Structure 1
Amino acid sequence: MEASRIVVGMDNTAASAAALRWAVRHMREGGVVVAVSVCGLRTPTGDVDLFHTARLRMMHDTVTRMGSEGGVQVEESVLDGEPGPALVELAEEADSLVLGRHGYSRGGVTVLGSVIRHCLEHATCPVVVVPAHGGHAA
């Protein structure tokens, strides 16, 4: 039987840290949580190493602060591309895709960002949206 797999979109915010905590807490023992940051930026010389290194360091710091959860493996990676489509593609074979919501609202209505909207519309697996304060997922 293949191990369970949850993909978590990371963007170095409290919302993505809450999404990662939610995913690890809800993963079965032996499962894998893939924490991924999608980097669409390049230096004027076209070099992505600086951005990848910085994003990996920030993601690793978040994972380290969170601590280990028995039997759950967390993989950290940085991909190039547009965040929405890249996350949807990576999550094609996943059990779920987990994203953090920053908590913006307008007139009492929650405003979802473009990445969340894209993932909700195009993902082939369940999408879990976790608020920044780490409360109940939607």
Structure 2
Amino acid sequence: MEASRIVVGLDNSAASAAALRWAIRHTRAGGVVVAVSVCGMRTPKGSTDLFHTVRLRLVDDAVTRMGPNPSVRVEQSVLDGEPGPTLVELAGEADSLVLGRHGYSRGGMTIFGSVIRHCLEHATCPVVVVPVEEHQVA
């Protein structure tokens, strides 16, 4: 079943690119993908800084690399806050929250980072964790 609103957390990695690709592919025609990068650095309300400008450019580059998809609208943003709680809050009304998994493992077990763990434990919508393919890892 395709969704009409999917939030995707981006961190400029191959894993987040895989998550964005998955979200665009699984969003219903006319739906919205919210591509967001969360900064731990806070700025005064209404101001911008070089760090946020660079992060927004990285989000835009990730969306541009996906190519055009006229049936899905992609909103781009950079938000202040702790990544896990900020993504959970943003995805409160979403059909799903999509995150990329970097492929860490120990002793044959998949190891999730703190952001994925927080989202899996606290999100009120389904959380999709998209693995990065082996050949995509830099």
TM-score, length-scaled by structure 2: 0.89
Deviation at 1:69, TM superposition (A): 1.8
Counterpart check, 1:40 vs 2:40:
yes
* Contact 1:5–1:95 (Cα < 8 Å) also in 2: yes
Q: Which residue number in structure 2 is paired with residue 89 of structure 1?
A: 89
1-structure distance, mates of 2:42, 2:123 = 26
Deviation at 1:85, TM superposition (A): 0.1
Unaligned runs of 5+ in 2: none
Deviation at 1:65, TM superposition (A): 1.1
Q: Which residue number in structure 1 is paired with residue 69 of structure 2?
A: 69
In terms of fraction of residues, the more strand-rich structure is: 2
Deviation >4 Å, runs of 4+: none
Q: Deviations over 1:43-86 (max 9, x none)?
A: 9xxx8511110011111111111102231001100000000000
Q: Deviations over 1:87-137 (max 9, x none)?
A: 000000000000000000001100000000000000000000001129xxx
2-structure distance, mates of 1:121, 1:42 = 25
Q: Please give the root-mean-square deviation of Cα atoms over the aligned residues, in Å.
A: 1.7
Say how many residue pairs are matched. Answer: 129
Q: Which residue number in structure 2 is paired with residue 122 of structure 1?
A: 122
% identical aligned pairs: 79
Quick one: which amino acid aligns to residue 129 of structure 1?
V
Quick one: which amino acid aligns to residue 99 of structure 1?
L
Structure 2 residue matching 1:4: 3-state secondary structure: strand
Name which of structure 1's ranges 33-42 and 20-29 shifts more when overlaid on structure 2: 33-42
Structure 2 residue matching 1:116: 3-state secondary structure: helix
